[in-house]
Amino acid sequence: DVLVGSHPATFANGIVVDGIYQPDTNLYLVWKTPDLSIEMIFWASTDYPARLAKEDMLAIAASMQ
């Protein structure tokens, strides 16, 4: 559990592929405001070198209006 601004949110990372947990592949962030339900998903293949840090994803979410 995390906060996006003042809104409670849920952060999760990883995905299970062929029965194997891959912790660095996906990031999920889900939260609700009084007017919206928002879900952010970051996905990158294991071959792609760029990654999005949890803190960066939270900063992007907090900057949304």
Angle at 58 between CA 13 and CA 17, to 5 degrees: 15
From the first residue on, what is the mean pLDDT of each consecutive set of 10 residues in the chain (65 residues)? 93 90 87 93 81 91 87
**pLDDT score of 11:** 96
Q: Which residues pair with 2 in a beta bridge?
A: 9
**pLDDT score of 65:** 67
CA 43 to chain centre: 9
**pLDDT score of 60:** 94
